[in-house]
Structure 1
C-alpha cells in the first residue's frame, strides 16, 4: 500500500521544466536583440558585461545574456598594464529574470598587491593591482606568427580551474597564476609589440 502511494505520488508530481532565460549575444556591431531559450538543467539566467580599458580610457563595453552555471557568475578583472578587462555578472533563478544588464564596473583602487608587467621590450615593470586583483599572471600569446609575453594582475576567480580553461580557449596558451608580490617572474623577455587583449567574451558559456 505504501509503495503504491509512493508511485502515485511521483507520477502526480508536477513536471520539472527547464528554466527559460533571455539570450542576447552581440554581433560584430556589439548589439543584439533579446530572444528566449530553455537552459540545461542546473543552469541559471545570467547577464554579463565585459568592459575593456586602455589606461584610464574605456575602449569597449559589451553586454550579453544567456544561461550560465553558478561557477560562471563571477566578477573580476585581468590587468596587463597597457590593457585591463573587467567582467561583471548578475545571475538569477526565476523564469526570464535576466531582463536587466549586468552592473557597470565600480571604480577600482590600488589594493597594495604588486606584479610585473611587460612594458616595451622588458617584463620588469611594476604594476599596482586594482580592486580584486590578488594574483599575478603570466601567459604567452601568438600574434602574427610571433610569441608575445603578457604579465600582470588577475582576480582569484579568473584563475580558478573553470574560468582558466575558458581564458586559455581565448588566448590559446596556458595561463600561470600565482600569489605573492612579483611572483610572476622578473626575467627580461622580449615582449614585442603588445596588442590590446580582446574582451574575455568566452568566459560566458554559450551552451
Structure 2
C-alpha cells in the first residue's frame, strides 16, 4: 500500500513538473493577461494578433492561450503572418507558438495593412459574391502574394470567392474554410495579376527585340 502511494505521488509530481504555464488574455485586446497552468492536452503556448477590415471600421484583437500543436498550423518559435482579402472583408493574423513556460507573454505586432503593388480580381460586396457578379480589381496588402478564386457553400447557398491571399494558406483547407466561414467546394490559388501582366509584357518585349 505504501509503495502504491509513493508511485502515485511520484507520478503526480512528474505530471505537475511537465505541465506548461502560458499567459491567457482577460480582455479582447489583451491589455491584461495572467499565467495559468495548462491542461495536459495543451502542449504549446500561443499568441495571436488579428486585424479584421470590413466596410466599417477595422477591429484588432489579441489572443493568448494554452493550445495544441495541431491548432497552430505554423512552425514552432517562428512568427508567422497569413491573410485573406476579399475586398469587402479582409482578415489577417500574426501568430507564434512556443513550448516554454509563459513564452507567449509578448504581444505581436498588428498584421501589415499597407498595399504591396499586387492586384487580384474581387467582389465588391457579399451580394455580388452570392450573385456571382464580381468585376472589381483589388489591391493586395501585406503578405498577400497570390490571387485565389473558387466557390463555397453555406446554408445551401453557393458563393463566388475572389481576392488576395498569402501563399502559406493555399492548400490548407481547414484554414481556408475558417477564414471564409463556409464549406469549400473548390478554391484555387495562383499568381497575382500584377505578376502575370509583368511576365506577359516581358515576353512581348523580348520577342519584339528579337524581331528587330
Looking at secondary structure, tell me which structure has more helix per residue: 2
Partner of 2:187: 176
Contact 1:89–1:103 (CA under 8 A) maintained in structure 2: no
Q: CA deviation at 1:81?
A: 0.8
Structure 2 distance, partners of 1:107, 1:129, is: 9
The structure showing larger relative contact order (alpha-carbon pairs under 8 Å, at least 6 residues apart) is: 1
Alignment of 1:1-207 (within 5 A): 15=14, 17-24=18-25, 34=34, 36-38=36-38, 43-54=43-54, 58-68=57-67, 69=69, 71-72=73-74, 74-112=80-118, 114-120=119-125, 121=128, 122-138=133-149, 139-142=151-154, 146-161=157-172, 164-169=173-178, 171-174=181-184, 176-181=187-192
- Which runs of 5 or more residues in structure 1 are unaligned? 1-13, 183-207
Per the normalisation by structure 2, the TM-score is 0.61
Q: CA deviation at 1:99?
A: 1.9
- Which runs of 5 or more residues in structure 2 are unaligned? 1-12, 194-212
Q: CA deviation at 1:41?
A: 7.1
Once the two structures are superposed, residues 1-40 of structure 1 have per-residue CA deviations (whole angstroms, 9 ceiling, x without a partner) of xxxxxxxxxxxxx95713221233767x999864513265
* CA distance 1:19–1:33, shift in 2 (3 Å): closer
Once the two structures are superposed, residues 39-59 of structure 1 have per-residue CA deviations (whole angstroms, 9 ceiling, x without a partner) of 65784312101111136x642
Partner of 2:204: none
Q: CA deviation at 1:91?
A: 3.4
Contact 2:49–2:63 (CA under 8 A) maintained in structure 1: yes
